[in-house]
Amino acid sequence: MRKTRTITVTRKLGDPFPETKTDWAKVAALTDEQIHAAALTDPDAQPLPRDMRGLARIPNVKKLREKLSLTQEEFASTYGVPLGTLRDWEQRRKFPDATARTYLHAIEQGPEVVAVLVKGIPLARSLWGASVRNPSR
């Protein structure tokens, strides 16, 4: 079995924290500029870009569905999304891939239009066995 460099520390509530080699007084004395410079030297801890370019916006599927006043079953049926996938997205167990994010953005922008378009696609209904409801409630 390969050894790892992970140390497991078990402590009970109220026990003091284990001693470390960290000089917390030095850490507390660091300026914001020094902290930023140190972060830039670490390739695994680069700061986020201020303009957020290059970052993917992940839509909040639950808020979108609630904004449309749809149950999970209605949303899944209307937009041809498997119910299990919708639940995974809402509970943040999984995240939509690039294509699904684009689809969700389209639903955000024009839910009625997307519902009508999906309703006209027999493949979506046959793949998931979903009966697409009338979007004009």
Question: With 90 as the cut, is the pLDDT of residue 127 above it?
Answer: no
In a domain, 103, yes or no: yes
Question: With 70 as the cut, is the pLDDT of residue 100 above it?
Answer: yes
In a domain, 114, yes or no: yes
Q: What is the pLDDT of residues 41-68, one digit of tens each?
A: 988 877 788 888 878 788 999 999 999 9
Structural domain harbouring 77: 61-128
Q: What is the mean pLDDT of the chain?
A: 84
Question: With 80 as the cut, is the pLDDT of residue 136 above it?
Answer: no
Q: What is the CATH number of the domain that holds 115?
A: 1.10.260.40
Give this prediction's pTM: 0.55
Predicted local distance difference test score (pLDDT) of residue 73? 95
CB 80 within 8 A of CB 114: no
Domains in the chain: how many in total? 1
19 band by pLDDT with thresholds 50, 70 and 90: confident
